[in-house]
Structure 1
Amino acid sequence: MAKLTKKQKEAQAKIDSSKVYSLNEASSLVKEITLANFDASVDVAIRLGVDPRKANQMVRGVVTLPHGTGKDVRVLALVTPDKEAEAKEAGADYVGLDEYLAKIKAGWTDVDVIITMPAVMGKLGPLGRVLGPRGLMPNPKTGTVTMDVKKAVAEVKAGKIDFKVDKTGIVHAAIGKVSFDAQKLTENANELIQTIIKLKPTAAKGTYIKSAFISSTQSPSVQLDLKSL
């Protein structure tokens, strides 16, 4: 096990390991214990009492964070020529079709979100091996396959994110930056958590949210008091 640096020890010492923190307390604390000399991302990890191997216990959804993510999300709109103008107007960073399909086939994936239209999905199928592992394959369930391209691009730019429980039963999501004030982090995290609570599968038995933690890119994690959520 790697030894902790002096700063890491100081940060760890500020966390009471016998205590669970309210969301507001944890949001303030994670700002205090972040060591990074850059504007680190703040993440929430929630362990769910579901079996993601079963289709009827899969938890997946989208949420628009009230204060955005603090990240400049790079959006590629793969659309037909008649939709290019509205995609550009909404703020898409890259707009086009065949030329970008060729670039992706060659290995280019320098974007965060891809938005497309139902008619184009057939062309994206063969690129699943490239896009799938990177979480870039558009999906109607997350609103990234739609005829309303303008709305979809605008929502992603404004802070809409998608999340999905992983194979270990955990949902990970970035909910802001350390530069956000604690109240904004609290409100963003609460919006995500409440959305996940509403998505509880009927097939899931027992405790749904087992534990939840908040941390930044280079900070220890702070356990949340589930009663405060």
Structure 2
Amino acid sequence: MSIKRSKRYKENKENISKIKTASINDAIKAFKGNKTVKFDETLDISVMLNKEKNKGEGLSRGFAQLPNGTGKKIKVAVFAIGEKAKEAKEAGADIVGNEDLIKEIKDGKINFDVAVSTPEMMKNIAVIGEKLGPLGIMPNPKTGTVTDNITKTIKNIKGGQIQFRSEKNAIVQAGIGKISFTEENLISNFKEFIVAVNKSKPDTIKGKFINKVYLSTSMGPSIKIENIK
């Protein structure tokens, strides 16, 4: 059964489709002025990297601290014991555990968005790498999720820190806010994400790291962003 779309939906989607390239400011204006659905869509970013002779897998990995958050409530799990486990609970972690949490994950129960671990717990959680790795949520020093600074890390994640890693085709994708955000907030989130991706550039890559950047909403077409450095 096909879904009937309103005339306004079709017009707004067509308006976006006509814009092939635009500055970040004009692209944000276009998305906000041509909403295609009633719910608050996420603004998605796709960054195409310069992979040169690399295969692309594992090419880029890091985190971005979006100054205005993502608009989503993030559920954080922390692997810790003793005082660090207590600290995690007091800092607002949604789930705190060690061997019990590891067993749950082995059994396929994964009900969190981000995982954090103290360094001492890393040897224990290695056995669940095959579960968390493919989801992109295995604690990793490069994404700031292996740390003894539990309180600060949880605060950062809850406040808008997002992890990213490139896919095999050397593309980094993430949600950087909601369409309901102000233009200024979306633009500053966009700029911070681009800075973070550039910082993740491996030494093996020479010259420009980012080739192309596209923005899109959850249900709509994309716009290529001009003048990305």
TM-score when normalising by structure 2: 0.89
Letter in 1 for 2:176: I
Unaligned runs of 5+ in 2: none
* Runs of at least 4 residues off by over 6 Å: none
Deviation of the 1:128 alpha carbon: 1.6
Separation in 1, partners of 2:121, 2:199:
32
Deviation of the 1:15 alpha carbon: 2.8
Are the equivalent residues in 2 in contact too, given 1:43–1:172 (CA < 8 A)?
Answer: yes
1:88 matched residue in structure 2: 89
Deviation of the 1:74 alpha carbon: 0.1
Separation in 2, partners of 1:18, 1:219:
12
Deviation of the 1:199 alpha carbon: 3.4
1:59 matched residue in structure 2: 60
1:126 matched residue in structure 2: 127
Separation in 2, partners of 1:44, 1:137:
22
Change (3 A) 1:205 1:148: closer
Are the equivalent residues in 2 in contact too, given 1:33–1:220 (CA < 8 A)?
Answer: no
Are the equivalent residues in 2 in contact too, given 1:34–1:218 (CA < 8 A)?
Answer: no
Deviation of the 1:167 alpha carbon: 0.8
Deviation of the 1:28 alpha carbon: 1.9
Letter in 1 for 2:78: A
Q: Give the share of equivalent positions with the same residue, in percent.
A: 36
Letter in 2 for 1:131: L
Change (3 A) 1:141 1:200: closer
Q: Within the alignment, does 1:139 sit opposite 2:131 as a pair?
A: no
TM-score when normalising by structure 1: 0.89
Separation in 2, partners of 1:199, 1:133:
20
Separation in 1, partners of 2:210, 2:185:
23
Letter in 1 for 2:138: M
Separation in 1, partners of 2:34, 2:89:
40
Separation in 2, partners of 1:53, 1:159:
30
Q: Within the alignment, does 1:106 sit opposite 2:107 as a pair?
A: yes
Stretch of structure 1 that moved more, 24-33 or 116-125: 24-33
Deviation of the 1:221 alpha carbon: 0.9
Secondary structure in 2 matching 1:43: strand
Are the equivalent residues in 2 in contact too, given 1:42–1:214 (CA < 8 A)?
Answer: yes
Secondary structure in 2 matching 1:161: strand
Stretch of structure 1 that moved more, 203-212 or 96-105: 203-212
Letter in 1 for 2:158: K
1:10 matched residue in structure 2: 11
Separation in 1, partners of 2:36, 2:18:
19
1:181 matched residue in structure 2: 182
Are the equivalent residues in 1 in contact too, given 2:44–2:173 (CA < 8 A)?
Answer: yes
Secondary structure in 2 matching 1:121: helix
Letter in 2 for 1:161: I
